[in-house]
Homo-oligomer: A and B are copies of this chain.
Amino acid sequence: MQYSRNSFLKTLGLGGILATSSVLTASPFKEILGENYQSGATRSLTLGLASYSTRKFSLDETLVIANRLNLKQIAVKSMHMPLESSEEEIKAITAKFEKAGIGLYGGGVIYMKTAQEVENAFRYAKAAKMKVIIGVPNHDLLPLVEMKVKETNIKLAIHNHGPGDEVYPTPEVVYDKIKGLDTRIGLCMDVGHVQRLGLDPVKNIKKYADRIYDIHLKDVDKSEADGKSTEFGRGVLDIPAVLKALKAINYTGVMAMEYEKDSEDVFAGLAECVGYVNGALDAIK
């Protein structure tokens, strides 16, 4: 089940698509993306890509995949834009996004275990003009994070990582830590990890609605710690219910596809998941 990188590039006609891609279109993600962004989509929720899904593929390949699947917003993971990138390097990468017609709305998951890592995360995000960092700052760094949020006006969405995580296992732990801080600090709710905890993603979305600034959308094969990412609709997560909940709270952010299965050969499974969300959204509109 290995994907040949050469055949992949050939398959996707890399370059061809990039060269002919549309101009930058974005999303109704105004709170995060700013008023200047225009949406090409008619759906009330915006589906995007967490580029961790395509971690075995290059950024160029990722942009082609995203375009083919009509995913116009990406939160980039570090293998596609290293955290140590210089301003120059970041400029070159953001130019690729612009050329591909895809918004680089965020980055992550970015771990911050030291003050220096916090400083760097915000430097990196600012250079790339990100609107949100999907991050995991150590608890003791939250005062510094709050300072940086105020300084840069970049949101921080703290990512819950489910069973076994000692920093932010649940949305509740995140919320309790940040509820007294600047409101630009919130959650990236990973519904798959919530489900693996045996918790209800819908209830969690409603409970923490005021601070959800990013979503990692996934399905998992069981509601237990060792639950694994699977094609949407083949697992235990009630994704239509998640989408309804996000509509109900008037969520204006991106739902980032984080499909972790078949990483070497991710395209078809990711396509199936994207289709699943589109179908569910069209059915509940």
Question: Is A280 part of the binding interface, using a Cβ–Cβ cutoff of 8 Å?
Answer: yes
Q: Work out how many copies of this chain go into the complex.
A: 2
Question: Is A11 part of the binding interface, using a Cβ–Cβ cutoff of 8 Å?
Answer: yes
Q: Which of the residues B16, B243, B268, B275 comes within 8 Å of A233, measured between beta carbons?
A: B275
Which chain B residues lie closer than 8 Å to A243 at the CB level? Answer: 283
Question: Is A214 part of the binding interface, using a Cβ–Cβ cutoff of 8 Å?
Answer: no
Which chain B residues lie closer than 8 Å to A279 at the CB level? Answer: 232-233, 239-240, 275-281, 283
**Which B-chain residue is minimally distant from A233 (CB atoms)?**
B278
Question: Is A267 part of the binding interface, using a Cβ–Cβ cutoff of 8 Å?
Answer: yes
Q: 1/0 contact trace for A258-285 toward B, CB 8 Å? A: 0000000101110111111111111110
Which chain B residues lie closer than 8 Å to A234 at the CB level? Answer: 70
Number of A residues near B (Cβ < 8 Å) is 41
Which chain B residues lie closer than 8 Å to A267 at the CB level? Answer: 267-268
Question: Is A198 part of the binding interface, using a Cβ–Cβ cutoff of 8 Å?
Answer: no
Nearest 6 A/B pairs, CB to CB? A275-B275, A7-B7, A279-B279, A276-B279, A283-B283, A279-B280
**Can you give 6 contacting A-B residue pairs, CB < 8 Å?**
A1-B16, A7-B10, A232-B279, A239-B279, A271-B272, A272-B272
Chain A residues in the interface with B (C-beta under 8 A): 1-4, 6-8, 10-13, 16, 68-70, 231-234, 238-240, 243, 265, 267-269, 271-284
